[in-house]
Each structure stands twice: as structure tokens, then as C-alpha cells.
């Protein structure tokens, strides 16, 4: 099986007939959806409860990884505690995961910032996440490396010991890390994410191209919506740029993923599908699942 076929085969998801109803499965759709920071904007970030909720509806959660002071890998996005931690005093709000032990991090409350109904959710370790995946081969996860100095030896050991080499998608903005990881765990899928202006994106792609896209199975472009999706140019970067990336990635056997940043308009996802997006990362998984299903249904009807 070729790398592109493997990536798409592992990314096939069984989406529910309605986004919130896990008991009513629909046909399998050949389309992979990533829930940004675990479950998107409406739920807490990087908690086991968030991950479980996404697996239940056939969406793959993203887990952001940082390492505690005593060397334990945990799921946490931000560099400090100001935004999401509900039980930290102001004097320590500027600290980060790297300043605390794993036991201290596990005491942080990270649910209530999204609403009282989520109060009490905690920061899971990578071991906690992997325990929830074992015995469930359909459960994939993006592991987004938030610090360049991640201990790849440690991460590799945890992935291999858990037998999850084919269920993780190693994710970072650093191509050199992906190349190193792919040499260590060749069975693993990978994703490099890319944001910024069109000029900045072109420079990043030039750098990736200079290394012949080595080790990549997925490439993500951040998209900002600046107009009506029906307009000729509703996005930054431009539609011409997105189409050129689509064509180059397809020729190289790399999955083209798009993240329409913090956007809940179904028409945006439909337009990006028309432009050839093969995968989405999203802040609104429920909207995205429904938009993909409706688009696929229209394609079948034609």
C-alpha cells in the first residue's frame, strides 16, 4: 500500500447521521476530520472527556503535548495557565506545565473555562490518553508537539510500548522533527501545519520542498475567511494558492488538510471541499461533520 493510500485508509471515519448522536451510525465517508485542541471551541481542550466525545462521533482529536518539570508528557496547549486553568492563583498564572511536576499538573482544573457543566475536568498524561486508545484500533489521535525540545526517545518508547504506531499522527510545524520521527517510527502518520500570510506560506513550502517533503503524509494550511464563501476570493491564502498546493500534494501522495480558523459557516467547508480539500481540522466538529456529509450526499446524487 502506498503512503497516500495508507494515510487515507487509516483516516476513513464512520460519522454519525447527526453530529450529536453516536448511536445512529451512517455510511463510512472517505474524509478525515481533526478536532482542533481536542474537541474544538465548544468543549474543554485536551481532556480525556473531550477526546472521548470526538471518538464517539468518528472525529479524530488533537492532543497538544508538553513535558512537566519531572519529565512526564501531558496534554496541554498553552505556554502558561492564564486562559484555561480555573484553580490557579494569580501569582502562578504565568507559569507553565514545564514549571510543575506531573502530580501538580494533574491537580489543575481545565474544564470550567468552557462552562460550569465541564467543571472538574483535569489535565491527562500521555499515558492516560494511550490507555484510552488501547484495544480501540479505530481511535486515532494527532499528537501536536508544542516544544521543539521534546524528548523523542521518550515519546517513541511510549508509542511503541502501547502498540499505537499506526494510530498516532505526529504533528508539528517543524519539518526537521517530522523527518526525525519518521525515521524512528516509519509506520506513523505525520502532519505539518502551516499558517501565516500567503508569502509566508510560500516560503515555508519552499523550505519543505527543498527537503523533498520527506516524511510527510499530511500537510495542513491555515485559512482565514475574509468574505462570503460564494465570492471569487473569500480566503487568505488565495484560491489559486490553495489549488496549487492541492495539485502538488496530490502528485506527491500527501493528504491536503485545511484549517478554516475558528469558522462555523457550513458554506466555508463546502467551498473548501469544492477546491479539493481532502481533510479538515476544525474548531467546530459538529458543523464540519454535517457539512461534509451534505457535500458527499450531493456528490453521490449527481
Question: Can you give the pLDDT at residue 13?
Answer: 41
Strand partners, 192: 172, 219
Query: Which stretch of 15-19, 37-41, 46-50, 70-74 has the lowest confidence by average pLDDT?
Result: 15-19
Yes or no: say if 188 and 218 are a contact pair by the CB < 8 Å rule.
no
The region, left, alpha or beta by phi > 0 then psi within -120 to 50, assigned to residue 266 is: alpha
Per-residue pLDDT band for 31 (boundaries 50, 70, 90) equals confident
| pLDDT at position 19 | 36
Which phi and psi angles does 27 have, rounded to 5°?
Answer: -65, 155
Dmax of the chain from CA atoms?
60
Given pLDDT bands bounded at 50, 70 and 90, which one contains residue 27? Answer: very low
pLDDT 10s digits, 228-282: 999 999 999 999 999 999 999 999 999 999 999 999 999 999 999 999 999 999 9
Q: Residue 3's pLDDT is what?
A: 44
Phi, psi of 199 (to 5 degrees): -65, -40
What are the structural domain ranges in the chain? 3-69+125-301
pLDDT in tens, 172-213: 999 999 999 999 999 999 999 999 999 999 999 999 999 999
User: Which positions ≥6 away from 54 have C-beta within 8 Å?
Assistant: 35, 38, 39, 60, 61, 285
CA distances from 244 to 16, 81, 117, 172, 255 (A): 32, 40, 44, 22, 14
127-162: per-residue pLDDT in tens? 999 999 999 999 999 999 998 778 999 999 999 999
Quick one: which of 170, 131, 146, 144 has its CA closest to 52?
Answer: 131
User: Does the pLDDT of residue 122 top 80, yes or no?
Assistant: yes
Specify the CATH architecture of the domain 3-69+125-301: Alpha-Beta Barrel (3.20)
The string of DSSP codes covering 134-191 is TT-TT--EEEEE--TT--HHHHHHHHHHHT-TTTEEEEES-HHHHHHHHHH-TTSEEE
Distance CA 214, CA 156 (A): 19
Strands (E), the chain: 13-16, 25-29, 32-35, 60-67, 73-75, 141-145, 168-172, 189-194, 218-225, 235-236, 255-260, 279-282
Using pLDDT thresholds of 50, 70 and 90, give the confidence band for residue 299: confident
pLDDT at 30: 62
Q: Indicate the pTM of the whole model.
A: 0.90
Q: Using 50, 70 and 90 to split pLDDT, how confident is the model at 227? A: very high
Beta strands 13-16; 25-29: pairing state:
antiparallel
Amino acid at each position: 500500500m502506498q503512503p497516500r493510500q495508507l494515510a487515507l485508509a487509516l483516516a476513513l471515519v464512520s460519522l454519525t447521521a447527526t453530529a450529536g448522536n453516536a448511536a445512529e451510525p451512517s455510511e463510512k465517508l472517505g474524509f478525515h476530520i481533526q478536532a482542533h485542541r481536542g474537541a474544538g471551541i465548544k468543549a474543554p481542550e485536551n481532556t480525556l472527556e473531550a477526546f472521548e466525545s470526538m471518538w464517539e462521533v468518528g472525529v479524530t482529536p488533537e492532543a497538544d503535548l508538553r513535558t512537566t518539570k519531572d519529565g512526564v508528557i501531558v496534554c496541554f496547549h498553552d505556554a502558561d495557565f492564564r486562559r484555561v486553568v480555573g484553580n490557579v492563583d494569580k501569582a502562578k498564572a504565568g507559569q507553565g506545565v514545564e514549571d510543575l511536576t506531573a502530580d501538580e499538573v494533574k491537580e489543575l482544573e481545565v474544564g470550567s473555562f468552557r462552562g460550569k457543566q465541564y467543571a472538574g475536568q483535569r489535565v491527562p498524561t500521555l499515558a492516560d490518553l494511550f490507555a484510552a486508545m488501547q484495544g480501540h484500533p479505530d481511535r486515532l489521535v494527532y499528537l501536536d508537539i508544542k516544544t521543539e525540545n521534546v524528548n523523542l526517545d521518550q515519546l517513541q518508547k511510549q508509542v511503541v510500548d502501547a502498540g499505537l504506531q499506526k494510530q498516532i499522527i505526529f504533528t508539528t510545524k517543524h519539518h526537521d522533527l517530522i523527518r526525525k520521527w519518521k525515521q524512528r517510527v516509519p509506520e506513523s502518520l505525520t502532519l505539518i501545519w502551516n499558517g501565516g500570510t500567503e508569502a509566508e506560506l510560500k516560503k515555508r513550502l519552499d523550505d519543505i520542498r527543498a527537503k523533498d517533503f520527506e516524511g510527510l503524509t499530511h500537510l495542513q494550511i491555515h485559512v482565514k475567511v475574509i468574505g462570503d464563501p460564494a465570492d471569487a476570493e473569500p480566503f487568505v491564502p488565495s484560491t489559486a494558492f490553495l489549488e496549487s498546493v492541492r495539485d502538488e500534494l496530490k502528485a506527491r501522495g500527501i493528504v491536503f488538510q485545511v484549517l478554516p480558523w475558528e469558522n462555523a459557516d457550513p458554506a466555508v467547508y463546502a467551498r473548501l471541499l469544492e477546491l479539493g480539500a481532502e481533510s479538515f481540522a476544525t474548531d467546530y466538529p459538529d458543523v464540519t461533520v454535517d457539512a461534509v456529509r451534505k457535500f458527499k450526499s450531493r456528490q453521490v446524487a449527481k
